[in-house]
Structure 1
């Protein structure tokens, strides 16, 4: 049994994570901490867990094996370093932190403590994206020349996100720091080391953070990624396009089409795969199984740091209105 403490209900996914954990037979939620005490007390009551107003007091509890971090992104480093130092396993919502320096501090604490760490990268568990990676690995795309990924919803347009979602100090940014994480970590996973980046961020609803954003990234292998995200888009299915020297993959929603000159006739045109790879276990399951059974956790410290590197540099490019080279 893994005894879990929920660290804040700030993130919009926190409730979903708690409900999912409560559905697992090998997990129990024992405690809650929240930087907003009233919110935390109410949530703890709903979850049937204890509320601890002091984080260090919670981290000393013997009935806490691991923590799920949904605190403001600006607090991630503080919270996770403290959790690691207390010997608690860590599951965190993306982004891992606001800067690579903070990611390095988290990584050092986690590695020193020897605790399990997992970051939520749901797009990397999905069959469509696993298929894209398989095509690259098996040569059906050839050398990737262009990757385009779009991810958006109408949260800012229809005002269903909480007001604090647009607080740059705590959130670290807007659309790109939120939904943009998914195209970012997919591009990193598929294309490797980034070389340079530029950003075009827009403030359609006149909030203090961007609600409509696009980044263009050149990778060391000469592939270019165009990553788009928005909080002001209406009924936009997720889009994924991958073009290469030997093939093209187009994914719009659940529609998957492939064309590759590596396929023999009669498969020389567009085909729809009869079967996609099996979905991987959700990140929360990977974390729990990693703690209980030492099973592999696929989304770790290095992955989280690479995502933050992309995001941090994207915001520098936006603020300074220039193309920025990666170190």
Structure 2
């Protein structure tokens, strides 16, 4: 496959570009960015050519794929262009800021018939894959509750780029960015959401939330808690799952569970090997026809959750899906 890097706005652009460069099944062809200076600097760093001709990329039949790393506000137009040009698409999350744009993007992607993947890397983690397998095994009984906490010190230690605090570009703050991981993990584990409430605060006062919690009611009666923020130090990833027959805890890179089947004792969860990252699975899907690691409908669901979370915060009321 031959991919163009579309936008260099996101902090993970270099990671994705290197993944393409290092994959023997893939080739990085060119870099485009609406900000020419930023795009040229990135292209030079990666040893790739830069072009300001986006339409030329879309019309180039030798380029069959795009890696979308632009500002989130630019995703709708770029997704539509790429789908219309029948390019395979790998995109950074979230898909779009608004639900209407997400639904329109999904229709275009499905009509294109090409391979789509959104970056949901936490679903490749051994701890989370083991947790999902345990949940699916039924050993925890009926699942009643799950909590995911995913935080870092990007604001308090001042290392996030300034544009990550631009609500117009991002659609929000910590919940829209880092909070995407708890959100897609919760619906992966618990299914369709029914309603959501949110509490967001600003600790560093940069115009968007840097400390955030959303509580989700799911159709099956379970409750999910999505916690995120840019103002926490030395606070490892945490996942809790509770069911009628047992419970499971992930703390950093360790996982344990206990319940009726273990006689009430907590035991280590056997972990699988880490799965390839979503961008590598996407390359395999394009070149080998293997299943893509995520679907466009899952991408739309994340936008629906984010839309509900922010509307709940802005109105101070529960948002019903």
TM over 0.5: yes
* Cα deviation code 1:93-122 (max 9, x no counterpart): 010111221111111111111111000101
1:316 correspondence with 2:311 = yes
1:154-185 Cα distance to aligned partner (Å, 9 max, x none):
00111101111100000111000011000000
Structure 2 distance, partners of 1:138, 1:112, is: 36
Structure 1: gaps of 5 or more residues: none
State the TM-score, normalized to the length of structure 1.
Answer: 0.96
Please state how far the C-alpha of 1:63 moved relative to its aligned partner.
Answer: 3.1
Question: 1:170-225 deviations in whole A, cap 9, x for unaligned?
Answer: 01110000110000000001000111100000011011110000000010111101
**Cα contact 2:126–2:273 (8 A) shared by 1:** yes
Is residue 76–residue 101 contact of structure 2 (8 Å, CA) maintained in 1? Answer: yes
- State the shift of 1:26 in Å: 1.6
Name the residue aligned to 2:172: 173
Asked whether the 8 Å contact 1:184–1:310 carries over to 2, the reply is: yes
CA distance in 2, matches of 1:130, 1:29: 30
CA distance in 2, matches of 1:245, 1:286: 35
TM-score normalised to the size of structure 2? Answer: 0.97
Structural mapping, 1:168-317, within 5 Å: 168-263=167-262, 267-273=263-269, 275-317=270-312
Query: Any idea what the Cα deviations from partners look like across 1:234-272, whole Å, max 9, x if unmatched?
Result: 111001111111001011112211102034xxx541111
Question: How many residues were matched structurally?
Answer: 321
For 1:140, the equivalent position in structure 2 comes to 139
- Which consecutive residues of structure 2, in runs of 5 or more, have no partner in the other structure? none
Runs of 4+ in structure 1 deviating by more than 4 angstroms, as ranges, are: none
Q: Alignment partner of 2:63: what SS?
A: coil
Rounded to whole Å, the distance in 2 between the matches of 1:178 and 1:63 is: 33
Give secondary structure in 2 for the equivalent of 1:51: coil
Distance 1:189 1:104 in 2: 19
Per the TM alignment, residue 279 of structure 1 is displaced from its structure 2 partner at its CA by 2.5
The CA distance in 2 between the partners of 1:111 and 1:164, in whole Å, is 31
- Whole-Å Cα distance in 2 between the matches of residues 276 and 252 of structure 1? 13
Q: CA deviation at 1:130?
A: 1.2
2:225 alignment partner, SS class: strand
- Check conservation: 1:30, 1:63, Cα contact below 8 A: no
8 Å CA contact retained: 1:29, 1:47: no
